[in-house]
Chains A and B, each alone.
Chain A
């Protein structure tokens, strides 16, 4: 069974630009969560989607948004990038909302210059 895939794996952007990251969950999984990981803050929860609906949201500004499609694939978007947005963005999938184990993808490394 294929694992969680994330694209792209690496991104370099400049301040003020916007970026879209993509996540394909494990086949059959319908819940997708997004996290930001930085050396100083650790893993910070961004949001969770299930059946195309946002179920939970972390404490991030409105520049961070996401969506989920009918095939459970998810995207997250960051607008007006800031230097502090440089991080590893991780996607995790699980079979259902807030249930059981989350399986992580390899992450997208975003660098903002």
Chain B
């Protein structure tokens, strides 16, 4: 069964405390893996697209990596404004599969 699993469900960090979010997938015919950030009551905001194992993308304090079975979103020295839910999505043959998200809370 095609599915995307994100862990942990929730993560609390102190400001400056680096960590990683995980997205594992069992989707046939991977055509792309996407990370989004979603603030409460708003639509998901696009962050990264990864297409092949070994690929990495960076944006400010965020770095996304991809292997054949999973992706990691590394957050370096997070700030309170990084608090949000981070969603992972995988594009299979003709359909997007979304994970349930990781809710990140960064305390000052």
Contact = CB atoms under 8 A, between A and B. Distances in A.
B43 A102 contact: no
Contacts of B93: 98
A6 B44 CA distance: 13
B96 to A, nearest CB: 7
A43 B46 contact: no
Nearest to A107: B43
Please tell me the size bucket of the interface on B.
20 to 34
A88 interface: yes
Contacts of B36: 104
A35 B44 CA distance: 11
A104 B44 contact: yes
A90 B94 contact: no
A101 B49 contact: yes
Interface string A88-113: 10100000011011111111010000
B42 A102 contact: no
27 contacts: A4-B43, A6-B43, A42-B98, A42-B100, A42-B101, A43-B44, A43-B87, A43-B89, A43-B98, A45-B96, A48-B95, A55-B94, A56-B94, A56-B95, A97-B94, A98-B91, A98-B93, A98-B94, A98-B96, A101-B32, A101-B46, A102-B46, A104-B43, A104-B44, A104-B45, A105-B43, A106-B43
